[in-house]
Amino acid sequence: MGSLIQKNFDLTPFTTFRIGGRAEFFMIIKNKKELMEAIAWAKAKKLPLAILAGGSNILIVKKKIKGLVLKISGEHYTINKNYITCWTGTSLTKLLIKKKFIKLNNRACGFSYHSSVFKKRNNLLIVGVKLKLAKGVIEEIKDLGQKNFNHRFKSKPKEPSAGCVFKNLEYKKAIKQNRKLAESLMAKGLIRGGKISVGYLIDQIGLKGKTVGGAKISKKHANFIVNTGKAEAKDVVKLINFIKIKIKQKYKINLEEEIQYF
């Protein structure tokens, strides 16, 4: 077990922001057996345990991370008829003392806009998912996939980032905070899927291109903060807080981060 664990490991390459810290101990998990053994190892040494999945939607805010960081590889999957079952991981969660596996159906997961029971309870870790698939025509699926990829490629910045920084505003919540703004955007046809684009609001107050240290609000998409090459976590945090203050002052709207702090 010990031979699989690396010490003083740089997590930077495993984050889409390319901003990281060094984990006291680090291990890549490939199956349930390794996961259980790693948990037991950390428990025996009384070490904190953290999970790193895909490395997106997170900002590592400490340069030194105490304890064991596990990265779940997500390499294994099986397909049976119209179901796919895959080994996976989740980000930003800690495990309970019990090492216990349970199954939750869709309703029990409490899925909502960028939220679920897994974000609200830090004792739950996703290690697998089973999805029911719909049949389709292969060429149509490929064409749709390529179309979506092209759209994302053209509309999203190419510099390292963690994706959208803030959750888009749900109209029903925005109307409680600023009815005049919400109704104005509705009249302009800017409410899509019941949500208001935060990127649009940030752009409207002229914050595109604003920089703090090596972090910058993307000129291509205002809801992205990008790493221009030498950004540190503190730069990103300062820029996030700056945006929240400016949006609050202008629109009386409270923004909520979509990214998670690791």
- Intrachain domains 2-132 and 159-261 with the same fold: no
**For residue 155, what pLDDT is reported?**
79
Q: What is the pLDDT of residues 27-72, one digit of tens each?
A: 998 888 888 899 999 999 999 998 887 788 888 888 899 999 998 8
The ranges assigned to domains in the chain are: 2-132, 159-261
* CA gap 168, 201 in Å, rounded: 10
* CA gap 192, 184 in Å, rounded: 14
Q: What is the pLDDT of residues 238-249, one digit of tens each?
A: 999 999 999 999
**For residue 75, what pLDDT is reported?**
58
Verdict on whether the full-model pTM lies above 0.75: no
Task: Provide the CATH number for the domain formed by 159-261 in this structure.
Answer: 3.90.78.10
The secondary structure of 27-52 as a DSSP string is EEE-SHHHHHHHHHHHHHTT--EEEE
Half-sphere exposure of 134 (CA within 13 A, CB side): 2
Task: Provide the CATH number for the domain formed by 2-132 in this structure.
Answer: 3.30.43.10
Task: Give the residue ranges of the chain where pLDDT is below 50.
Answer: 89-98
**For residue 96, what pLDDT is reported?**
33
